[in-house]
Structure 1
């Protein structure tokens, strides 16, 4: 998920002065640049929230990634939109089968029977913040022994799912949580960077999205909900709770994004990376957006609107949908470009990964599809409920490769 940023006093960083050598892979800009990868025939995949922008892009990317047939079922409450999407997909991806099944994920008792025919459930129905029964879909999938993954960007939701880890291990069951682009791909980049450093003393994650990245109301609602939460950070391994949208810092993202002011927000990868990858380090995540008007409007919202209102899920969803015409207009002006910079610093080594894509929606779909492919086919994912950074080296590298095929991806390193 991408979130929107705010204005404060900046601290300037120049990323290039820290690194003396670089490896850069530029994207192939054709429409269908995914390298076909063999998958077993007729895997049955259910995409929950498949009519949303993230779900739709995930389905498109997964069909490009697979060289063998997939049976993909789109679930949701909007049958008309789903049938229209199925019609389009049957034309653009004729090697695969597409169907629709109505689903209201708040009706928990119906989930087990819904999931039973499938090999994999992909949960893309955000926003994930303030959801009741956050582990309901994972629990239902585990009861039917159907592999599960989500694109959760909420710490409380992720923690609730992670609590099912021991139960999953005892059942020999595998699931992935907080996949996608960020969190998701960013976790893998951070894990790879830290792996090359003996003593990590800081792990910094910076994200940028122009407008809503083409995703629309869902990302706006998520942003408001996250604004009601203190940002979890770590200083020398100790947890700190800092004000959301604080600690402004200017970073050069490079490429077509350039220098942007970034701000703290609360995301699950900070806690999971602290627990799994860098337990004694300084760890935080910061965000920026464009155009600047988003900064001004959302900074005013953070200062003037009570957290009790911002944390009201129903109210924020309604407000975001009401604002959708304005959001779409601004998105047309700003574009949907997104970028990441992940910096791991040790005593003598600094490693940086950079990522840039022209569309957040498209690259979230590509990253989610890369995780889905590995979960469907890899024999190297052990039982349990796993964050991305818990995957082994080979699986991580496969996902990074397939998630960044249409992006500009760069590693810079100074020994």
Structure 2
């Protein structure tokens, strides 16, 4: 992999975690971008880049082998980075975390195939590692029927304010979920459910939340129902988010000013509570289906003490496989369609990520 060049767009907490993973697991030359000047520790290189400057964007992408888009929130992003990668023949990854972005860029599918580039979306932790935990589970069944995927994050998760913006942006309107073989409207942050996560998280409340998996799983797997739920630790944040989503006037979370206000308040609060809550993540994927002519349930769980670092593992591992030529699938895909389970498990093992798997019936 000598002389390979990687452009990491967005040098925030997630982008920095991706860059650190690449330093450890590849020999690639890594260039990290930001709109504002930033000092990076060698061998990381810095490039000041404004995505609104299309000429500058193309100039930054042309000399590299792989582009990793980490500049959210993806609610506000269009497909210009991926479009430029297609035009210049460069492979692409992102940490996109909303179906609206997926729906925009999947329209470039034919162009990506024609250009011969591999573009993998929704890498990271959730979406990302979570998607392949589900794929691993679905593959255990003769006929999978239901996916129930839950996540919980302690405090800020070690991520920046952009993640807070993403959370509040996800509360604005109803979304479609695949339930009993049809798309049904769901109100975000409703139907609280207590899920038993591994220690130290234990029993924690989670709520309906719109993530890309809610939309992509029904297209990736032959299931009748997909449930995606999210929660926070301490539980106080769940209740505050529920109030924001269900009690406050909708106009408060439908404007950029409102989103920014709630995001900054939340970030300030987690800056205090992170000291005792931690910044980790737990995920639980439960699959129900037919195995050997019986209805059975399979469950896998994963934890990490730093959500942002775990996201770096998820994206970094896919980047490593692309750079090594082990992934070559021209077109645009959510990560669960592009990453085989054998490569996924090998990548997780190499990063010390343990995924506990068991039949629970």
Q: Could you say whether these structures have the same fold, taking a TM-score greater than 0.5 normalized by the shorter chain as the test?
A: yes
CA distance in 1, matches of 2:10, 2:211: 21
Change (3 A) 1:317 1:371: farther
2:132 to 183, 188, 211: 188
CA distance in 1, matches of 2:258, 2:7: 29
Question: What residue number does 2:317 align with?
Answer: 370
Shift of 1:368: 1.1
- Preserved contact between residue 44 and residue 118 of structure 1 (Cα < 8 Å): yes
- Preserved contact between residue 143 and residue 289 of structure 2 (Cα < 8 Å): yes
- Preserved contact between residue 225 and residue 312 of structure 1 (Cα < 8 Å): no
The answer to whether the aligner puts 1:135 opposite 2:79 as a matched pair is yes
The answer to whether the aligner puts 1:345 opposite 2:305 as a matched pair is no
- Preserved contact between residue 190 and residue 203 of structure 1 (Cα < 8 Å): yes
Shift of 1:262: 1.0
Question: What residue number does 2:6 align with?
Answer: 45
Q: Which structure is richer in relative contact order (CA contacts within 8 A, separation 6 or more)?
A: 1
The alignment's C-alpha RMSD in Å is: 1.8
Shift of 1:292: 1.9
SS at match of 1:191: helix
Change (3 A) 1:319 1:392: closer
Q: TM-score, normalising length from structure 1?
A: 0.81
Cα-to-partner distance string for 1:217-244 (whole Å, 9 max, x where unaligned): 1111111100113243211220111111
Change (3 A) 1:102 1:318: farther
Change (3 A) 1:322 1:105: farther
SS at match of 1:196: coil
2:302 to 351, 355, 365: 355
Matches within 5 A, 1:43-122: 43-50=4-11, 52-66=12-26, 69-79=27-37, 82-83=38-39, 86-87=40-41, 90=42, 97-122=43-68
The answer to whether the aligner puts 1:386 opposite 2:333 as a matched pair is yes
Equivalenced residues, count: 356
Matches within 5 A, 1:7-406: 40-50=1-11, 52-66=12-26, 69-79=27-37, 82-83=38-39, 86-87=40-41, 90=42, 97-129=43-75, 131-132=76-77, 134-278=78-222, 280-313=223-256, 315-317=258-260, 319-321=262-264, 323-347=266-290, 348=294, 349-391=296-338, 393=340, 396-403=341-348, 405-406=351-352
Shift of 1:315: 4.3
Cα-to-partner distance string for 1:61-113 (whole Å, 9 max, x where unaligned): 111112xx32111111121xx22xx23xx2xxxxxx32111111122343212
Structure 1 spans left out of the alignment, 5+ residues: 1-39, 91-96
Shift of 1:354: 0.6
CA distance in 2, matches of 1:217, 1:283: 29
Change (3 A) 1:138 1:231: same
CA distance in 1, matches of 2:257, 2:88: 31
CA distance in 1, matches of 2:165, 2:331: 30
- Preserved contact between residue 121 and residue 148 of structure 1 (Cα < 8 Å): yes
CA distance in 2, matches of 1:314, 1:370: 36
SS at match of 2:185: strand
Change (3 A) 1:411 1:63: same
Structure 2 spans left out of the alignment, 5+ residues: none
CA distance in 1, matches of 2:2, 2:62: 18
